[in-house]
Structure 1
Amino acid sequence: MAKRRPKKPMLKFPKRMQKKMIVMFTVVAALMIGLIGRLMYIEYTSGEKYEKIVLAQQGYDSQTIPYQRGDIVDAKGTVLATSIAVYNVILDCSVLNDDEKYVEPTINALVSCFPDLTSEQLYSYLKDSPDSRYIVLAKRLSYDTIQPFVNLQEERDEKGKLVNPYIKGVWFEKEYQRQYPYGKLASSVIGFTTSGNLGINGLENYYDDTLNGINGRQYGYLNSDSNFEKTIKPAVNGNTLVTTIDATIQSVVEKKIQEFNEAYTDGYREGEGGATRIGVLIMKPDNGDVLAMAQYPNYDLGNPWDLSEYYTQEEIDAMDDDARLEALNQLWQNICLTYTYEPGSTAKPFTVAAGLETGTLSTNDTFFCDGAEQLSGFTVKCVAYRKGGHGMQTLEQTLMNSCNDALMQMSYRIGAENFTEYQQIFGFGQKTNIDLPGESRTDSLIYTLDTTSQLSLATNAFGQNFNTTMIQLGTAFCSLVNGGKLYQPRVVSKITDQNGNTIQDISPTLLRETVSKTTSDTLKQYMYSTVTSGTGNTAKVDGYSMGGKTGTAQKVPRDGVNYLVSFIGFAPVDDPQLMIYCFVDEPNSQDQPHSTFAQNIVREILEEVLPYMNIYPDEETTGLHSGWDITGTDTGAAAVTDRVTGNIPEEEPEGTDDVPDTMEDIPGAGENNEENAENDGVNAEEAGTTSDNSE
């Protein structure tokens, strides 16, 4: 039988020891309760204050993540404006000064990778601003420029260790810089941006909110375990504008304008370009799309502040801030929208259309032109005044020969009420509301029923003594040749996100019907004859059916010196696929009053644009204008013009300078021009000082 092991005696504290332990426990418990209470009090009364102090002592970082402004592309996706990533080189002096071993390797790396930096400059930053965490060493560098430094920072050996672990305190701040790949192309349409992604002029301004996005944010800090934690709120990039502009057509137009300028630079007016200003507008008649909108002068979107192309350095140096800004605003404005002028004979088809629509004219009507009309004691002359008039004119011949006398007689039949009503129907005096900024108001530059007299009605009938803009007249003309449908012109057809997903489709907007299809077809035939056998023959592209109307408008003061000449046309005749409108303001020639200046530009443009648009010849070729250049000069031995053979009536007789002598004395002539009610960026002096007297 096994023996039982004796029990170990229990450890007992003496009573004295027990009392001491109880006292000690009580004291510790009391202290703990007091400490907890104190902490609770501090948290309640000063918790936020101490939290900030703690956070300030931690490694903490917050950075803005910039958004990318949306692109502007043409109808076929060619990028016209975009934003590219660039980088600012930032020096954190506090990091380098934290450990001496970081200084030399970092400065050596910076100097070797960025030649514009010097070691003396960098050492001075460390000495003068030792605690600074944000010193910009270089701005807006491409990634290719900063890549050598990035490679040094990130270079690793075979074991994966950093080769240059002591390069510290340098980081790269990303932002975006606006870039325009094609320089001057469509500058008046696109516009540009300033710092802060603020759009100036053009689409950049009109769609500023659409193109801009929302900046993101990155928050980072060291937690209590010294682990780096960060929270990222990503940036929301801007949306892309898909425009109706065709970059190829636009480039052809601008090339031909440049050729014209080069041909006439230092002409009659030495030291000046080919004209004071030139505008060209191409639209699709069946929906109001703007295919091209170009002008002279224009500017480089990459350097919109440069005036050196149009002013000498002495002139620029003499400008104060206000004068310089005024010169820039004149350069930046889109003259297709802002410049107002009297349209001249390009308005005559609208008068004929108004008469046919109201039944006050018929296609069988004839009018006898004796060269002038006597109105209110004034003699208002026709182009054929010196020849004794055009004689008997049909409606078609009236447009072909641009007979002012016949148009004035038509105005008597049409009457002021019908005429002013149809001016409103065609949109004269109203903004078209195209999606571009700066369109001029012309409501105060036309006559109303209450202010119209027989004299103003007669002169308005042939395009004189009221003002319009290119976009206004071009839009109305599209309705004349498309069957009578007036569309609101547009430059943007769609808005997409950065991934190409459609955000918004902008459909063509049909505003109203201006004329019937019958009237439209009649006007197309009349204007076809004007191009084939009338004053518009110079614009004819061999092998293509075309219609159009010329204009030769004398500018105020009506002294027979300065003219604005123009041509508006369409092709092909049966199914117009494009409308083209060109004006040349004060051609640099001693003999200005000839719409052939504008017609030559139109012909040269269409010879390239029509085949590009897959519009095929619909007439037999005849060798017409073969070998002609932008000035209408025959550069080929075989070229013979119809004007030489006498088949084309002359636009202007000799001595055109004294044809408008009655107009300068006509009461009210040009009065509306003084009331240019708040034209956006266009003053009353600019906004309409022309009239048509030679056609």
Structure 2
Amino acid sequence: MINTNPSNSMRFRSKIVMTAAFSLLFGAVAANFFKISVLDNKKYQDMANDQHFGSISISAHRGTIYDSRGITLAKSATVYKIFIDPSIFREELESLQKRIDKRNADKANGTYTPVYDDEGKEINVLPESAEEFKNKAAAFIALKLNITAEKVKKAMDAEGRYMEFKVQTEKPVADEIINYFYDMGFASVGSVEDTKRYYPQNDLAASVIGFTTGNIAYGVESSYDKYLSGVDGRTVSAKDSNGNELPYRYSKTFEPKDGDDVYLTIDREIQYILEKHLKEMSDEHSVKNRSCAILMNPKTGAILGMATYPSFDLNDPFEVTSEALFNRIFYEKDIDDPKKKDIEEYTPEARERQWKNKCISERYEPGSVFKIITAASVVEEKAIDFDTWSHVCNGVEYLQDGDRKLPIACHSVDTGGHGPVSFQEALTKSCNPAFIALGQALGMEKFQYYFNAFGFREQTGIDLPYEVNGDLPKLGDGPNDMNHIDLAEASFGQCETVTPLELITACSAVVNGGYLLQPYVVDKVVDSDGNIVLNNERTVRRQVISEETSKTMANALRNVVSLNTAGNVDIKGFAIGGKSGTSQRFSAIKQNVAQEYGKENENLNEYGASYLCFTPSDDPELILLVLADMPDKQNQQYYGSKCAVPCAQEILTDVLRYLDKSPEYDENELKNLDKKVPLLKGASIDAAIKTIEDMGVRYEKIGNGIEVVEQSPQTGTAISKDGCIYLYTEKGNTYEPVTVPDLSYYTPESANDVLTGLGLNYVAKNSLATQEGAIVKSQSIEPYSIVPKGTTIEIEFQAQSFND
């Protein structure tokens, strides 16, 4: 029988709808419960823990940074955070006041019994009031932590369970503060281990090591932070049902995991040599825009030394150490008469500049050093016949520039040019017109190709932050794209900009077989168990030129030095290849005077003086680049050959001596080799004379004795092949005094004549004694000093004629 009652039917449908709705609701609740209890369990567990636990971070000890020989450059030491639990402190003050009230009552009743130590001094003496103790405690903490008493009291009166007085407190001070409160029975003031970064070498390699503080990080401290930083620990304390932290005795400490140690490829002693001579050059030539130097192993890409001058103290990095930094900023901002407010406004920018590593973070026009790259590209492409090519230099090359001819001068313009030059002569004499012709032979597309191939439009990939890359007008038809004038200027290093690191890396590829490498400053990373977790090795980015081209270029650059020792680093016994450069710093001056070579713009010009060299020339193990950015222009001393070369000479000489590299003399050097004076004192006169004659040097006998009682020079001293040894044979008739002359600006010949006439010996510090036009730059013994006859004076010569 069919139910036709409408009300029954309606009730039935309602039940179905309600059942479905409850089913959906239950499903949703069940699904959400599953999500909370299973899928998001950790999230909600952490939220629950946050409701029941509070924590204090314990800083991990940051890993140590060492040089390549294991000498500490950066380390962390244990210091302490000093904190107070204000809630417990107030409870303890109340307890103290009760003890004071009881003491006062006992004294009033005559029942107070003081306690004395062995020396009869009363102990456990209470203050007059809890408020007095609070005030004295605040003053004590303020004194010890060098903060204000108001700051201390504010922490004491704060709400909550944890307030810091100060972080990075030394242990003796921390102990003194904790004991101060312990003696009064207070447990509310405590300490937690923290770490502090120290740099034992202060400013040495500052731009490489870098520092980290807050959100500021530079150098290795930044790029290897994930290894150095470690994992912080925590002290976790429980909370009551109202969310208030329980006293710190209800806490658990999770120890931090210390960071890994980092070992650099940089050698501290080599770094010191770079910085020492870089400073001397910068001071002597009043360099305006900082100087830098890089010493690298061209076979591996490992950086042995990388310096920027002026540097800064890593222990106080916010102190601006150089007035030149401000002067440069004021020049760029057109501030001619800076006031105190200007200094304050631009101090942050000056800090940023001093922190940045000039070797990787600043571009400059490379000048004639870039001729190495142009020449290598031409040789690789066989764009000329290497053996027969020549170009006639008249001192000026004229290029059509619209309706006018643009003159591009060679440094030989004042002498009418170099005349006909071969490929080798073009490189040796650093002839700009010849290199314009080489650039044209290579062509615009190939020039761009090799500019890219040698890595000038990309970062080198060095393991340091804030690296930039070079630039050159691109191919195209636009007004800013490369044209034939750009190609001409770029061929001798004047249109492009590069970083010092890009340049030395590219030049390494020229002489190491053609391989462009990735430079690096970190050798390895080692964890606390001594396991190597990272090991940097030679990384080839690509091969740019053939090994045959590389050998040709290494030999050509060796000839640059041997055929022109006046303008290059030349060290006896070492085969060195090199190239100097002097560029106009168009990208760094207010007015672009790139197309103007007239004297009217000379006051606007600034220059970059640089030098690159490598040794041994046939299988390079060391390659060095020195840059003086904007040296003083007085007396024409801004050339690379006159500014950067002497600095490179000193650096390489000291480095080779430090590395104990043995000289290998060629035939000509052997003929002119200095002689070491043997021990002759105590020998018979006949034996001494025979020894000297076997050496091939002169001698002079003084006295009528039969035994040598004194000699000059002393044993181990060097003398030239034309030198003289003086033999004294009678006691009391020794060491005839001689006044040392002032040899400034003497030629090698005249210096030799004067010293020989006075009975003095000399040795040349460099090989320029055989160079035409060389003059004395310095002497090892001050003029007018009184010395024994026969004394050896070391003389350094300098070139007069070569510019680049």
Which of the five TM-score ranges fits, normalised by the shorter chain? 0.7 to 0.9
Residue aligning to 2:659: 613
Aligned counterparts of 2:611 and 2:70: Cα–Cα separation in 1: 31
Q: RCO (CA 8 Å, sep 6+): is it higher in 1 or 2?
A: 1
Aligned counterparts of 2:419 and 2:145: Cα–Cα separation in 1: 82
Deviation digits for residues 631-686 of structure 1 (CA, Å, limit 9, x no counterpart): 99322466363736xxxxx333xxxxxxxxxxxxxxxxxxxxxxxxxxxxxxxxxx
- Pick from 64, 68, 73 the counterpart of residue 75 of structure 1: 68
> Contact 1:536–1:548 at 8 Å: present in 2 too?
no
Aligned counterparts of 1:384 and 1:351: Cα–Cα separation in 2: 20
| 1:448 matched to 2:465 | no
Aligned counterparts of 1:94 and 1:416: Cα–Cα separation in 2: 81
> Contact 1:191–1:200 at 8 Å: present in 2 too?
yes
Aligned counterparts of 2:152 and 2:76: Cα–Cα separation in 1: 35
> Contact 1:401–1:535 at 8 Å: present in 2 too?
no
| 1:200 matched to 2:217 | yes
Residue aligning to 1:639: 795
- Pick from 357, 380, 387 the counterpart of residue 357 of structure 1: 380
Deviates more, 1:99-108 or 1:481-490: 99-108
Alpha-carbon shift at residue 530 of structure 1 (Å): 1.6
Change (3 A) 1:549 1:222: closer
- Pick from 249, 260, 265 the counterpart of residue 239 of structure 1: 260
Aligned partner letter, 2:269: T
Alpha-carbon shift at residue 588 of structure 1 (Å): 2.6
- TM-score using structure 2 length: 0.64
Change (3 A) 1:514 1:130: closer
1:526-675 aligned at under 5 Å gives the runs 526-534=556-564, 537-556=567-586, 557=593, 559-560=601-602, 561-590=605-634, 591-595=636-640, 596-619=642-665, 620=669, 621=673, 623-625=763-765, 633-636=777-780, 639=795, 641=797, 643=799, 650-652=801-803
Alpha-carbon shift at residue 187 of structure 1 (Å): 1.4
Alpha-carbon shift at residue 404 of structure 1 (Å): 1.3
Alpha-carbon shift at residue 307 of structure 1 (Å): 2.2
- Pick from 497, 506, 517 the counterpart of residue 476 of structure 1: 506
Aligned counterparts of 1:345 and 1:299: Cα–Cα separation in 2: 31
Alpha-carbon shift at residue 247 of structure 1 (Å): 1.7
Residue aligning to 1:7: none
Deviation digits for residues 176-210 of structure 1 (CA, Å, limit 9, x no counterpart): 12221111111111222123xx4422222223333
Aligned counterparts of 1:111 and 1:326: Cα–Cα separation in 2: 38
Aligned partner letter, 1:360: A
- Pick from 278, 283, 304 the counterpart of residue 257 of structure 1: 278
Deviates more, 1:589-598 or 1:401-410: 589-598
Aligned counterparts of 1:119 and 1:299: Cα–Cα separation in 2: 27
Aligned counterparts of 1:352 and 1:537: Cα–Cα separation in 2: 19
- Pick from 83, 108, 114 the counterpart of residue 90 of structure 1: 83
Change (3 A) 1:186 1:439: same
Gaps of 5+ in 1: 1-54, 155-163, 265-272, 645-649, 653-694
1:49-60 aligned at under 5 Å gives the runs none
> Contact 2:765–2:794 at 8 Å: present in 1 too?
no
Residue aligning to 1:14: none
Residue aligning to 1:462: 492
Residue aligning to 1:216: 233
| 1:370 matched to 2:394 | yes
Deviation digits for residues 204-262 of structure 1 (CA, Å, limit 9, x no counterpart): 22233332233222335699xx9966543332333332222222211111111222334
Alpha-carbon shift at residue 425 of structure 1 (Å): 1.4
Change (3 A) 1:168 1:430: closer
Residue aligning to 2:95: 99
Aligned partner letter, 1:72: I
Change (3 A) 1:529 1:310: same
> Contact 2:54–2:239 at 8 Å: present in 1 too?
no
Aligned counterparts of 2:195 and 2:233: Cα–Cα separation in 1: 14
Alpha-carbon shift at residue 421 of structure 1 (Å): 1.4
- TM-score using structure 1 length: 0.74
Paired residue secondary structure (1:530): helix
Residue aligning to 1:145: 173
> Contact 1:213–1:237 at 8 Å: present in 2 too?
yes
Paired residue secondary structure (1:188): helix
Aligned partner letter, 2:317: P
Aligned counterparts of 1:201 and 1:124: Cα–Cα separation in 2: 34
| 1:169 matched to 2:197 | no
Aligned counterparts of 1:383 and 1:68: Cα–Cα separation in 2: 57
Change (3 A) 1:230 1:309: same
Aligned partner letter, 2:63: G
Aligned counterparts of 1:574 and 1:134: Cα–Cα separation in 2: 68
Aligned counterparts of 2:427 and 2:151: Cα–Cα separation in 1: 80
> Contact 2:262–2:526 at 8 Å: present in 1 too?
yes
Say how many residue pairs are matched: 570
Alpha-carbon shift at residue 456 of structure 1 (Å): 2.1
> Contact 1:420–1:449 at 8 Å: present in 2 too?
no
Deviates more, 1:449-458 or 1:250-259: 449-458
Alpha-carbon shift at residue 599 of structure 1 (Å): 0.7
Residue aligning to 1:301: 314
Aligned partner letter, 1:552: T
Deviation digits for residues 245-303 of structure 1 (CA, Å, limit 9, x no counterpart): 22221111111122233434xxxxxxxx4443211111110111111111123221112
Aligned counterparts of 1:340 and 1:464: Cα–Cα separation in 2: 12
> Contact 2:494–2:584 at 8 Å: present in 1 too?
no
Change (3 A) 1:638 1:249: closer
Change (3 A) 1:274 1:282: same
| 1:382 matched to 2:441 | no
Paired residue secondary structure (1:303): coil
Residue aligning to 1:25: none
Change (3 A) 1:85 1:481: same
Aligned partner letter, 1:387: T
- Pick from 496, 502, 509 the counterpart of residue 526 of structure 2: 496
Identity over aligned pairs, percent: 29
Paired residue secondary structure (1:587): coil
Residue aligning to 1:345: 368
Change (3 A) 1:500 1:166: same
| 1:325 matched to 2:348 | yes
Aligned counterparts of 1:476 and 1:67: Cα–Cα separation in 2: 40
Aligned counterparts of 2:248 and 2:349: Cα–Cα separation in 1: 58
Change (3 A) 1:608 1:153: farther
Aligned counterparts of 2:459 and 2:308: Cα–Cα separation in 1: 20
Alpha-carbon shift at residue 605 of structure 1 (Å): 1.0
Aligned counterparts of 1:227 and 1:116: Cα–Cα separation in 2: 24
> Contact 2:77–2:195 at 8 Å: present in 1 too?
yes
